[in-house]
Amino acid sequence: MESDGPNEERTADGNRVLVLNPVSGSQDHVDDVVELAGEHGFEIRRTEDAGDAMRLARQAAPEADLVAAAGGDGTLNEVVNGVAAADALETTTVAVVPAGTGNNFATNIGIEGIEHAFAVVEEGRRREIDLGLANDRVFVNSCVGGVTAEASSETSSASKEELGVLAYVKETVDALGEFDALPLRVETAAGPNGERARAWEGQALFVLVGNCRRFTGARTAQAAVEDGLFEVTIVEDAPTRNLLSDAALEGLFGRESDHIVRRRAPSLAIESRRDSVEYSLDGEMLETETIELETKPSALRLVVGDAYRPDPDGDGGDVWPFA
Ligand SMILES: Nc1ncnc2c1ncn2[C@@H]1O[C@H](COP(=O)(O)OP(=O)(O)OP(=O)(O)O)[C@@H](O)[C@H]1O
């Protein structure tokens, strides 16, 4: 474990609330979560419908020192939006109990499973990480527009149950063949480390904005999330769509391509030149013609596991985005 810096200050988590999504993932987490939550002094509030996690977190946050989200990335997204709506981000720490299909965010912050999540609540570090703001909603992991956003909105629960994470990949490949590229203008703002304000305009298959999640080419899937910057990846359309479908997917998970544009920026605006576009904010959908994205540095107090890296590029290795 790394040494306790100023970002690691511990406070007693007196009042603990756990927001439980009983229908996330394969739905077999409920008994374990309820038992462990009881042992660790959490009051449990169950969701009954989409939107409940945000409402429950908003109600709990003014009194609670610690609010845990038990579910997938979508549940966590709602919980963080609830804490933000209660204006309690400075006083309420958020914990993640991974019980979804992909649990991408939990993995990025070093939470390995349900039991581990509770152990980390007791013994793990607290960090203050950047939040993403997209129009008036917050997100923790990523904001994705294009093929993968369509795929994530179309992936059925039955297919998720059967295939797990592969369901998204399959939907993405299936969707790519039929996808109309998005005519977009993407303007990234100047950043503190010499990043220039830049504009990109063209036909995009994907626009991937990572806060905690990194999309291409690096050794770690966890992005730097205490730097006040998003990692922006644009996958351009190309005449050779079939070739690109390989490249795009490999690019997503680890290969370079001429059709991939990368930027780091504290904020950006994406404007559609045609109709509105569907974006996925941590898996929750937002349809809009223009999206304004901004980082809120160190805005979220979060319980993290040992594998979480405050500076994933800082140990002398390759620095994202290579080029
Ligand atoms: N009790 C409920 N009944 C129906 N839907 C719910 C309920 N509670 C939450 N939801 C909704 O379920 C959706 C999916 O939840 P979540 O993303 O947490 O799980 P998942 O999709 O299984 O996992 P992952 O996002 O990791 O793939 C969210 O949009 C959330 O609003």
Per-residue pLDDT reduced to its tens digit, 261-286 = 889 999 999 999 999 999 999 989 99
Tell me, using a 6 A CB cutoff, whether residue 103 lines ligand 1.
Answer: yes
Residue 292 pLDDT: 98
Is residue 180 lining ligand 1, measured as CB closer than 6 Å? no
| Ligand 1 centroid, distance to 75 Cα (angstroms) | 6
- Output the CA angle 256-259-260, nearest 5 degrees: 55
Structure letter (DSSP) for residue 136: T
Residue with tokens 């644009």, as numbered in its chain: 234
- Reported confidence tier of residue 165, pLDDT bands at 50, 70, 90: very low
Write the pLDDT tens digit of every residue in 74-90.
999 999 999 999 999 99
pLDDT tens readout for residues 112-140: 999 999 999 999 899 999 999 999 999 99
Q: State the pLDDT confidence band at 9, using cuts at 50, 70 and 90.
A: very low
What gap in Å lies between CA 146 and CA 31, rounded to an integer? 37
Mutate to test the pocket of ligand 1, among 20, 24, 52, 171 (most ligand atoms within 8 A of CB): 24
pLDDT of residue 84: 98
| Rounded distance from Cα 155 to ligand 1 centre (Å) | 13
First to last CA, the chain: 31
Residue 237: pLDDT band by 50, 70, 90 thresholds? confident
Q: Compute the distance between CA of residue 281 and CA of residue 139 in angstroms, rounded to an integer.
A: 6
Average pLDDT over residues 162-182: 59
For tokens 């007196």, what's the residue? 14
d(CA 280, CA 294) in angstroms, rounded, equals 16
Domains 6-123 and 138-298 share a fold: no
Distance 140 CA to ligand 1 centre (A): 16
Residue closest via CA to ligand 1's atom 14 equals 74
Among the residue ranges 144-153, 170-179, 222-231, 233-242, the one predicted with the least confidence is 170-179
Q: Which atom of ligand 1 is nearest to the CA of 69?
A: 18
* Ligand 1 pocket, mutate which of 75, 169, 280 (most atoms under 8 A from CB): 75
Confidence bin at 323 (pLDDT 50/70/90): very low
What angle do the packed helices 30-39 and 114-123 form, to 10 degrees? 20
**C-alpha–C-alpha distance, residues 33 and 175, integer Å:** 35
Distances (CA, A) of 47 to 53, 152, 176, 285, 286: 6, 21, 34, 19, 21
Give the number of other Cβ atoms within 10 Å of residue 161's Cβ.
Answer: 13
Write the class of the CATH domain 138-298.
mainly beta
**Which tens digit of pLDDT belongs to each residue from 295-305?**
999 999 999 99
Contact 296, 87 (CB under 8 A): no
Fold classification of 6-123 is Rossmann fold (3.40.50)
165 lines ligand 1 (CB under 6 A): no
**Secondary structure (3-state) at 74:** helix
Here the tokens at position 185 are 């203008």
Domain definitions of the chain by residue range: 6-123, 138-298
Distance 101 CA to ligand 1 centre (A): 9
Is residue 209 over pLDDT 90?
Answer: yes
From ligand 1's centre to the CA of 232, what distance in Å? 26
